Amino acid sequence: MKATCLALAALVPVTAAAEVRRHGGSPAALPHEKYVRVVSEADSPVQEVYVKAKDGVYIAAAVRKPKGEGRRPAIIFFHGAPGGRGMAQLVGWAKGATGGPVWERFLQEGYVVVVADYRGGDWNTVNKPSTAGVVTAIDDGITIIDHVKAMPEVDPARITLYGVSLGGNLVAYLVSKVPDIHRAILGAPAPLWFLGVALPPGGGRPDLSTVKADPAVAGPNIAPIKTPILILVGTEDRLLTIDTILHDLLAEAGKTVRMEVYEHGYHDFVLGPQGQNRPDLKEGEILMEGALDALEKSVAFAKGLP
């Protein structure tokens, strides 16, 4: 896939290990057909895998492997809310069936691609580690990582995690608890619980433009992180404020972090079309110029390139 070039509007250094980059680009929809179904299913069939969780529940994962022998780098994708999407949805994403190019792009680069599920449930209970012995989405994520590390095709030292929206909250916790993850990409993450922001009782949502992190929660979660982190977010995303808070707290703690902010980017724009009903978007889910640029930056970041 040819990299898409965008104008760099601003470059704001934070520390030697952190920076924020702002990008322009067109808000127009691009034809996604040329970027999907680019890897033959004969060469890389989707494998449906069920991994046993701590409490005996089985977690679905769709796996595609590149051709060739030897151990390969792997990338594990954790989708957005809700948890419990099921195997059919995971398989569709892995095959590019919804129009999103991200999963196949990493397959083209020789990555073992794992599109993983995690459990749903009460948001304030399942999206953070439990102190009462409850098995949560965080436990599911660790279980998936352990499974992928043990795969004979995978180099366990080169595993990248990619979490979108609620999956970004999960990945933030995972790199806090599994410090040997090679790289982590957070696409429009919703790190509410990771930063100590709980949803109001009754299922309402906080005003995301005014939320603040709880230092007593965020500090201990951030402290163990050793993994370099790339944050991707759009200017039209209500999560931009909290994602900026996450970036700044990671930078202040001396973590290696970079944030790429894309003009016109809607929530989840980084994945392109996911086959979701989005009444909040006039054109629905579209593949944007910025999404392709973010994808190329993600590939380079996962490889450890600038």
H/E stretch holding 156: strand 154-164
Q: Which residues of the chain have pLDDT under 70?
A: 1-17, 202-203
Q: Is residue 34 classed as helix, strand or coil in its secondary structure?
A: helix
2 in a domain, yes or no? Answer: no
Torsion angle (degrees, nearest 10) of CA 236, 80, 214, 228 = -90
CATH number of the domain that residue 277 is part of: 3.40.50.1820
pLDDT at 17: 66
Q: Is residue 284 part of a domain?
A: yes
How many angstroms separate the CA atoms of 168 and 183, rounded?
A: 13
The CA distance from 160 to 183, in Å, is: 5
- Mean pLDDT score of the chain: 92
* H-only helix segments in 120-239: 123-126, 137-149, 166-177, 215-222
Only one residue has tokens 């809700």, namely 82
Question: Residue 3 falls within a domain, yes or no?
Answer: no
- For residue 203, the model assigns a pLDDT of 65
Three-state DSSP at 242 gives helix
For residue 5, what pLDDT is reported? 39
Query: Is 209 inside a domain boundary?
Result: yes
Question: Residues for the chain: how many in total?
Answer: 306
In a domain, 71, yes or no: yes
Residues 172, 215: Cα–Cα separation, whole Å: 16
Pair 2, 231: CB distance under 8 Å:
no
Residue 253 in any domain: the answer is yes
| pTM of the predicted protein model | 0.93
Domain limits for position 248? 8-302
**Total domains in the fold of the chain:** 1
Give the tens place of pLDDT for each residue, 249-267: 999 999 999 999 999 999 9
Domain-located, residue 101: yes
